[in-house]
Structure 1
Amino acid sequence: MKNVQLGDDILWAQSRRGDAEAFGLLYDRHRDRVFRHAYRLAGGRQDAEDTTASAFLELWRRRENAKLIDGSILPWLLVTTTNTARNLQRAKARHRRLLTALPRRSEFDAELDPAHSSLESSMNEEVAQALGVLKPADLRLVGLVVFEEMPLPAAAEALGISHGAARVRMHRARQKLKAALPRSVQHSYSPALKGDPS
């Protein structure tokens, strides 16, 4: 398979038949976009890498059920990435609660809970926390529309909801995000938070 310009539809059909090389080409084509999406949701490089790997593993595992939207597997991957990132955050929260409940010596506290020193890490953490106020369905929609800049009708189709329902959910999600995001972070996302979905 020398032609990497094959469309997702052809590569996906070959992948569904078990063609690992075709799947590899899909991975190469979409991994950066999936990673950026995962990084925004997870708030850190290691978690984003784990989330990206899990999303592609899930795509391979569920290749009989995954579907193309507008000839691309990317929307399916992005929705799966959102779900995977959310599950990872829940698991980390459970782990933190367990660690908090265990008796610890004070000299190990700093190692178990390292502070994020850079502004970017802080901002990503604030965004990840704000996204945590959204219901899972709304989080998937926001991820596709706001962060991936997918048109609302395509996002609605990828999620299996009507365009009208997507508009209502998007409006409510924007209001929740405005309330949850600190003002210092809102300006970075102001076009997405103000925009009226089409």
Structure 2
Amino acid sequence: MQQESGSSEVSLWTACREGDQSAFGCLFDLHKDRVFRHAFRLLADRSDAEDILGTVFFELWRKRDTVHVVDGSLLPWLLLTATNSALNLRRATRRYRHLLSRLPREDHELSAEDQVYLRSNGLSPELDDALRGLNPTDQGLVALVIIEGYPIAEAAMALEIGPSVARKRLSRLRVRLRESLSGASTVDLALEGNGS
């Protein structure tokens, strides 16, 4: 049975190399599920796996004059191309995220609706602006301890830092925030927070 399916795949590939698009469609139908599953295993993202599937078959069509059947099947070439494409996508994503992390944050005005929401929840737009200037760990400390009222020990555990480190950071943060927010009384109340 393997020999028979292999010979039909070879004949499809031969027709494909001569420009037969319907033969290419048959090859796509034959291998699309295996290539998709392989890409999904590598990337764990359905959308990315679909992109890889398209890339692999695009490359197969583009390189049809140089691709050769291995043991009666194109599957080894397809899976290897999927692996290489997935690795390229990972590298590109990593480079893109690194680049984004290095870009300066864009200051933007809060909508009137967002300002109403912040004020109704005891936060001023000034505090929101001050929080945006903090690194993610400091933002987490302020959000968990000062705004939400969690104990420092729980916040430290959630942020994967030691409680003493969290206390020191929080003390410095309160001073910095008071200096930068020398105004709103709701902010002063919030900055007293839960110091436990």
TM-score by length of structure 1 reads: 0.50
Give the equivalent residue in structure 1 for 2:17: 16
Partner residue in 2 for 1:65: 66
Structure 1: tracts of 5 or more residues without a match: 111-198
Greater gyration radius: 2
How many angstroms apart in 2 are the aligned matches of 1:87 and 1:20?
28
2:35 is matched with which residue? 34
Q: Deviations over 1:148-191 (max 9, x none)?
A: xxxxxxxxxxxxxxxxxxxxxxxxxxxxxxxxxxxxxxxxxxxx
Which residue number in structure 1 is paired with residue 94 of structure 2? 93
Give the letter for the 2:96 counterpart.
Answer: H
Partner letter of residue 7 of structure 1? S
Question: What is the alpha-carbon root mean square deviation over aligned residues?
Answer: 2.2
Q: CA deviation at 1:69?
A: 1.1
Percent sequence identity over aligned pairs: 53
Q: CA deviation at 1:102?
A: 1.3
Which amino acid letter does the alignment assign opposite residue 24 of structure 1?
Answer: G
List aligned pairs for 1:39-188, cutoff 5 A. Answer: 39-104=40-105, 106=132
Cα-to-partner distance string for 1:65-103 (whole Å, 9 max, x where unaligned): 111111011111001100111111111011000111112
- The residue aligned with 1:167 is none
Q: Counterpart of 1:36 in structure 2: which amino acid? A: R
User: For 1:68, what is the secondary structure of its paired residue?
Assistant: coil
1:104 is matched by which residue type in structure 2? R
The AA in structure 1 aligned to 2:18 is: R
Q: Report the equivalent of 2:155.
A: none
Q: Distance in 1 between matches of 2:44 and 2:35?
A: 14
Please state whether the residue corresponding to 2:91 is helix, strand or coil.
Answer: helix
**SS at 1:30 equivalent:** helix
Aligned residues: 105
Q: Distance in 1 between matches of 2:34 and 2:47?
A: 16
Q: Deviation per CA, 1:93-136, whole angstroms, max 9, x where unpaired?
A: 11000111112364xxx9xxxxxxxxxxxxxxxxxxxxxxxxxx
User: Secondary structure of 1:64's partner?
Assistant: coil
Partner SS for 1:49: helix
Match of 1:132 in 2: none
Distance in 1, matches of 2:15 and 2:89, equals 30
CA distance, structure 2, for counterparts of residue 15 and residue 46 of structure 1: 27
SS in 1 for 2:30: helix
Partner Cα distance (2:102, 2:8) in 1: 51
* 2:158 matched residue in structure 1: none
